Amino acid sequence: MDLRENLKKIEEEAEQLFSRADSLEKLEELRIVFLGKKGKITDVLKQMGKMSPEERPVLGQAANQLKDKLNNLLSARKNELEEILQAKKLEEERIDITLPGTEIITGHLHPLTRITKEIEDIFIGLGFTIEEGPEIETEYNNFEALNVPKYHPARDLQDTFYIDDHYLLRTHTSPVQVRTMARQKPPIRIIAPGRVYRSDDIDASHSPVFYQAEGLVIDKDISFADLKGTIQLFVQSVFGENTRTRFRPSYFPFTEPSAEVDISCVICGGEGCRLCSYTGWLEILGSGMVHPRVLEMAGFDPEEYSGYAFGMGLDRITMLKYGINDIRLLYENDQRFLHQF
């Protein structure tokens, strides 16, 4: 068979096979079969030695033209396959924007954390600084420096977790106030949020682990009026401008005079309901003027300085703010509860 006829046959075969190639891998295999170093065109060129010198240039030119044509066919078919693959990929990745989207559950702050940050922001705006202290405290800082000596009846109210004769899990964040007074001279204006511990049975309103925030202000000419103004602003910032406050005489060993603070019921607005036992009032914190003995133990002259202090349960504030009726919900990590916030 004439070599030029072989090239023509190779051309026809290649055109058919290239057009039927259904993948880039198959197309590469065909390129090697026809245009590779050991391909069919190369086999034809190897037989040029049998031809006359006059015919060789003619065959070489025909072979080169065939190579160019096959390369063009390969390139065109490759582009077609790539377009087909791209269209298929786009179809697979297509999103129907008419369908409702899938809700993405994102992280968010725990209600206790939200209230803590809200309260911190309020008092920072009043010029307070945030102070923290250890949860394992000395007996002296937790009791004696706050005018609660050994065998004082008030210690029985704390239900304390003792580690040994000298250390305990703090029952309130007041030791942070003691530590602050030990290292800082007046004026002092701090708030101390944190976790505290008491040996309480777990029920809807009690937990052995809970959170408090206590405030302390010491300076010259501080009066009970300053305390009332601060508490009133705090209450209205958290519970609304129409919330009223009421101060009732009370007793705390570290303040004198002392007062419990009530707010008008967040549910009934003071009209009376089950939450407030039909009194119209809810207790939220304890407060008072810093006891002169506490000032003396801190090294401050009570004739020169005065101050006020207050303490609140953050769990209770959170429950009142969000209408939560069981403190255990704040600690059980129930997703059904937490997702509401």
Distance CA 35, CA 143 (A): 95
The helix-helix angle for 55-93 and 3-20 (nearest 10°) equals: 0
Answer whether residue 1 shows pLDDT above 60.
no
Edge-to-edge strand list for the sheet holding 306-313 = 129-130, 188-197, 209-219, 306-313, 281-290, 255-264, 245-252
Residue-range domain boundaries for the chain: 3-93, 111-338
Average of per-residue pLDDT across 125-146? 95
Answer whether residue 85 shows pLDDT above 90.
no
Poorest-pLDDT segment among 118-122, 162-166, 210-214, 260-264: 162-166
**pTM exceeds 0.85 for this model:** no
* Helix (H/G/I), strand (E/B), else coil: 51: coil
Report the top-level CATH class of 111-338: alpha beta
Half-sphere exposure of 23 toward its Cβ, with a 13 Å CA cutoff? 3
Average of per-residue pLDDT across 273-282? 87
Q: What is the pLDDT of residues 195-240, one digit of tens each?
A: 999 988 888 888 999 999 999 999 999 999 999 999 999 999 999 9
Half-sphere exposure of 56 toward its Cβ, with a 13 Å CA cutoff? 9
pLDDT bracket for residue 106 (50, 70, 90): confident
